């Protein structure tokens, strides 16, 4: 095949031939320029260490530090011209540094490689994203906590299989998500702690013969310690995988509540009203309020899970140490981090603005024979029936109410006694939904007093 016909396959995009194709495959500056602050921070710490170790003169180190500060300012001001020909953020920064300070810029790369350079840059960036997620989760948990406090004793249906099961309180349901997101927060905290080791100084893969001080650079960059094995240092992407795995679990939790918002805001449920900030209308049906923000969030969060699978797939077959495949590690993580940050902020806004329809919640809580289990428990507790017998009696009473088109509290005592003669009028004390939730006082149960105690605990935890 001729070069001309090969280029035609690319639709004219690569007019310069195979070299242009290789540049497009090889260059990462289009996305790894996001690592500029971390790259420059790492280089400044490295230069300071080289000078302290006697590897670099104080004059060269000072020039490098001043030049790097100027490069960062240019990037932050949008005045920096990134070049795909220079491949990545590291070479772009170094080339500009050479323009500013001259040959001394070439001494910066003493005792390091792009392998350990990118490893420290990326690790620092992901570490920062853990902090972003932790902050977002704190705000989201506070929003759920405010909802829980407002409706600590409001009743609503609890569901299994999306069928009415037992009454619960609105506050209890909101606190369930506080628990979920608290676990997510703890996972991000744990991931951050595990990734907080500095790979800088591992060089290409085997370390270096220069008398460097890796503990100094680790401290300067906020790490707890340097990594212990140079081979692992440059080949490890566990920190990114753990971030993505944790983000995927968090995304799943966000998506579950987004799904509940879609269901609850429907005309069939009317449990909640989402604010105008997070709803849209229909172009043809003027009566509609669409929960578009929740739906979009539910969809967008799938990108995080996709990024997790993508990076696992990249890493699963790589021998030690560095392979060019690992250049493909960043785009997925960048996109996932952006999506998670947006998702947390959007959900915090939706929850904060959410208005619960208390009458609709209470009406639904009382439907579907939701206090049947309370009746069975009463038969066990008061009449000493074995639970299986109580279950059978309750089932018969449910069928009777169903045939009559009423709920359990609407059955007369005489009707109940036809099913089991020892039932007394005391049974009505457990059949109301408020009585039901108030009775669920076991640790972790839905009773309003439990909910208020958990709210107080979480207020203290979150500060």
Asked whether the beta carbons of 3 and 17 are under 8 A apart, the reply is yes
Contacts of 256 (CB under 8 A, 6+ apart): none
Q: For residue 347, what are its two tokens?
A: 């959900």
Q: For residue 168, what are its two tokens?
A: 């619960």
> Using CA atoms, how far apart are residues 448 and 153, in angstroms rounded to an integer?
5
Q: For residue 399, what are its two tokens?
A: 């069928």
Respond yes or no on whether the N-terminal peptide bond of residue 198 is cis (omega within 30° of 0).
Answer: no
Among the listed residues 83, 282, 323, 367, the single catalytic one is: 282
The residue assigned the tokens 């977002």 is 136
DSSP string, 192-216: HHHH-EE-TT-TTTT--SS---HHH
Buried b (16+ CB within 10 A) or exposed e, 143-176: bbbebbbebbbbbbbbbeeeebbbbbbbbbbbbb
Q: Annotated catalytic, 46? A: no
Among the listed residues 5, 161, 442, 443, the single catalytic one is: 161
Parallel/antiparallel/unpaired status of strands 225-226 and 197-198 = parallel
Which residue, among 342, 333, 353, has the nearest Cα to 146 in the 3D structure?
A: 353
Q: Annotated catalytic, 396? A: no
> Using CA atoms, how far apart are residues 155 and 135, in angstroms rounded to an integer?
31
> Using CA atoms, how far apart are residues 326 and 337, in angstroms rounded to an integer?
18
Neighbours of 293 (CB within 10 A): 21
For 162, left (φ over 0), alpha (ψ -120 to 50), or beta? Answer: left
Q: For residue 20, what are its two tokens?
A: 């242009």
- Size (the chain), residues: 463
> Using CA atoms, how far apart are residues 400 and 310, in angstroms rounded to an integer?
56
Write down the H helix ranges in 84-204: 89-101, 114-150, 170-195
Q: Is 272 helix (H, G, I), strand (E, B) or coil?
A: strand
Please identify every residue annotated as catalytic.
161, 282
């Amino acid at each position: 095949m001729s070069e001309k016909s090969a280029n035609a396959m690319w639709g004219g995009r690569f007019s310069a031939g195979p070299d242009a194709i290789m540049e497009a495959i090889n260059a990462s500056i289009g996305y790894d320029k996001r690592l500029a602050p971390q790259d420059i921070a790492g280089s400044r710490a490295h230069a300071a260490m080289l000078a302290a170790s006697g590897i670099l003169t104080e004059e060269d180190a000072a020039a490098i530090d001043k030049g790097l500060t100027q490069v960062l300012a240019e990037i932050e001001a949008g005045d920096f011209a990134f070049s795909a020909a220079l491949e990545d953020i590291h070479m772009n920064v170094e080339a500009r540094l050479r323009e500013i300070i001259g040959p001394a810029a070439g001494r910066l790369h003493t005792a390091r490689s792009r392998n350990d350079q990118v490893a420290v840059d990326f690790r620092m960036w992901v570490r920062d994203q853990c902090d972003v997620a932790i902050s977002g989760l704190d705000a989201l948990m506070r929003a759920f906590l405010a909802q829980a406090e407002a409706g600590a004793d409001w009743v609503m249906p609890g569901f299994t299989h999306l069928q009415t099961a037992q009454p619960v309180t609105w506050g209890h349901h909101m606190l369930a998500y506080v628990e979920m997101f608290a676990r997510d927060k703890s996972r991000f905290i744990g991931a951050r702690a595990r990734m907080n080791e500095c790979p800088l100084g591992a060089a290409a893969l085997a370390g270096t013969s220069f008398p460097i001080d890796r503990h100094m650079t680790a401290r300067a960059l906020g790490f707890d310690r340097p990594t212990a094995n140079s081979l692992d240092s440059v080949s490890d992407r566990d920190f990114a995988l753990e971030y993505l795995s944790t983000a995927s679990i968090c995304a799943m939790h966000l998506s579950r509540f987004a799904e509940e918002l879609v269901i609850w805001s429907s005309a069939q449920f009317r449990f909640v009203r989402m604010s105008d900030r997070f709803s849209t209308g229909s172009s043809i049906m003027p009566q509609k309020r669409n929960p578009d923000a929740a739906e979009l969030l539910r969809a967008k969060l799938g990108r995080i899970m996709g990024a997790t699978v993508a990076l696992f797939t990249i890493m699963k077959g790589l021998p030690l140490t560095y392979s060019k495949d690992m250049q493909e590690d960043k785009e997925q993580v960048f996109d996932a981090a952006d999506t998670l940050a947006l998702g947390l902020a959007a959900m915090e806004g939706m929850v904060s603005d959410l208005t619960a329809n208390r009458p609709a919640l209470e009406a639904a809580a009382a439907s579907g024979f939701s206090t049947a289990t309370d009746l069975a428990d009463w038969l066990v507790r008061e009449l000493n029936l074995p639970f299986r017998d109580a279950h059978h009696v309750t089932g018969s009473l449910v069928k009777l109410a169903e045939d009559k088109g009423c709920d359990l509290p609407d059955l007369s005592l005489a009707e109940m006694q036809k099913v089991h003669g020892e039932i007394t009028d005391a049974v009505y004390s457990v059949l109301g939904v408020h009585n039901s939730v108030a009775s669920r006082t076991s640790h972790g149960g839905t009773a309003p007093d439990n909910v208020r105690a958990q709210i107080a605990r979480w207020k203290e935890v979150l500060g």
